[in-house]
Amino acid sequence: MRILIVDDDDIATDILANALTQFGHHVTSARSGREALELMRSCSYRLVVLDWEMPGMTGIDLCRHIRRRYSSGYVYVILLTARRGTQSIVEGLNAGADDFISKPFEPQELEVRIHAGERILSLESHEVTIFSLAKLAESRDQETGAHLERMREYCRTLADELSPWEKFRDEVDSDYVQLLYMTSPLHDVGKVGIPDKILLKPGPLTAEEFEIMKRHTVIGSKTLDAALDLHPEAKFLCMARDIARSHHERFDGSGYPDGLAGEDIPLCGRIVALADVYDALTTKRVYKPAFSHEKSREIILKGMGNHFDPDIVRAFLQNEDRFVEILNRFAAREEFEASSLLKSRAEMALVY
């Protein structure tokens, strides 16, 4: 396992690095939080052991930074500390640490904790499975390629914004944000149960067809509910079920399938509702061109309080730059992929 150690104390770093190397890990060390972030930018580390007490950026600050970063994989963070007591543990966990090792450490204990981290990281393959499932469901649909990728980034941006707000503090912690990122791509999984002639119809749907289309929310939530019966402890299934069912509810109660209003709609559903609509507005669909961010913003503002939860709209307004950045990043990627495809086709034509 590749491990990054962050400690300003050279002697402590050497001892730790030696112990970890003896256990067969590849170790890199950084002397400060800044240096660690720099290293993490250029190389991916899945497991970081960091010292709580460091001059400048402390271990806790660094931990928060790591959690705010938009890395593709989860980073397991172990805090090294001489501190004891519940208060310190709570502070560390709140900053997003996964585990603690008390100083001075016992090599055996260290290895056991590293193993626990490796186990957790292996669970991330579940996330990949979930995403593949969502992709499979989406492949029958006509929504644009990176819809799910963009959508989950928008969802995470909104949840990150809400997290420190007094009103959401208890509900939205770093676990919630991660779960939302993981499960939001499943919002339309129920579309697998919608007949092709309706799902793929190029023109507008008749009232009767629309009623059938609406059922994707119920089909998706029932499927996930069945999985939840087998694994009642799986928080991600619970959130995925809530999202599948409630992402077309409207704040004023005029949505479907249950006509829930206001805060009766699960928060995850209210977040996904805005992220999903923003993505539909800003990208080209068979029934409409891609709207600019400004035009989409205007439409979302009109929906404040009727379609969307006003708090979620406020969170969106606080993060417009980030939304535009995500939009542009994926647009550039799609353009690059399209041009590479053209190029490889041209090369194939030359070969044959």
Q: Name which of 97 and 273 has its Cβ closer to Fe ion.
A: 273
How many residues sit close enough to Fe ion to count as binding (CB under 5 A)?
A: 2
Q: Name which of 46 and 150 has its Cβ closer to Fe ion.
A: 150
* Distances 182 to 8, 58, 128, 319 between C-alpha atoms, Å: 35, 29, 9, 20
Site for Fe ion in 292-331 (CB under 5 A): none
Q: Name which of 51 and 188 has its Cβ closer to Fe ion.
A: 188
- Determine phi and psi for 70, rounding to 5 degrees: -100, 70
Q: Which stretch binds Fe ion (CB under 5 A): 175-183, 269-277, 318-326, 334-342?
A: 269-277
Q: What is the closest distance, in whole angstroms, from the C-beta atom of residue 281 to Fe ion in the complex? A: 12
User: Which of 161, 242, 276, 311 forms a contact with Fe ion (CB under 5 A)?
Assistant: 276
Q: Name which of 249 and 276 has its Cβ closer to Fe ion.
A: 276
Site for Fe ion in 221-240 (CB under 5 A): none
Does residue number 249 form part of the binding site for Fe ion (CB under 5 A)? no
The span from the first CA to the last CA of the chain, in angstroms, equals: 45
- Cα–Cα distance, 25 to 110 (Å, whole number): 12
**Long-range contact list for 31-39, CB < 8 A, 24+ apart?**
31/6, 31/7, 32/6, 32/8, 32/56, 32/57, 33/6, 33/57, 33/58, 33/59, 33/61, 33/62, 33/65, 35/6, 36/4, 36/6, 36/62, 37/62, 37/65, 37/66, 37/69, 39/4
Task: Return the structure tokens found at 36.
Answer: 């660690």
DSSP state of 97: -
Q: What is the closest distance, in whole angstroms, from the C-beta atom of residue 245 to Fe ion in the complex? A: 10
Half-sphere exposure of 153 (CA within 13 A, CB side): 21
Q: Name which of 48 and 280 has its Cβ closer to Fe ion.
A: 280
Q: What angle do CA 94, 264, 96 make, to 5 degrees?
A: 10
Site for Fe ion in 163-192 (CB under 5 A): 188
Q: Name which of 188 and 311 has its Cβ closer to Fe ion.
A: 188
Q: What is the closest distance, in whole angstroms, from the C-beta atom of residue 186 to Fe ion in the complex? A: 10
Q: Which stretch binds Fe ion (CB under 5 A): 64-72, 82-90, 101-109, 270-278?
A: 270-278
Q: What is the closest distance, in whole angstroms, from the C-beta atom of residue 322 to Fe ion in the complex? A: 19
State the residues that interact with Fe ion by CB under 5 A: 188, 276
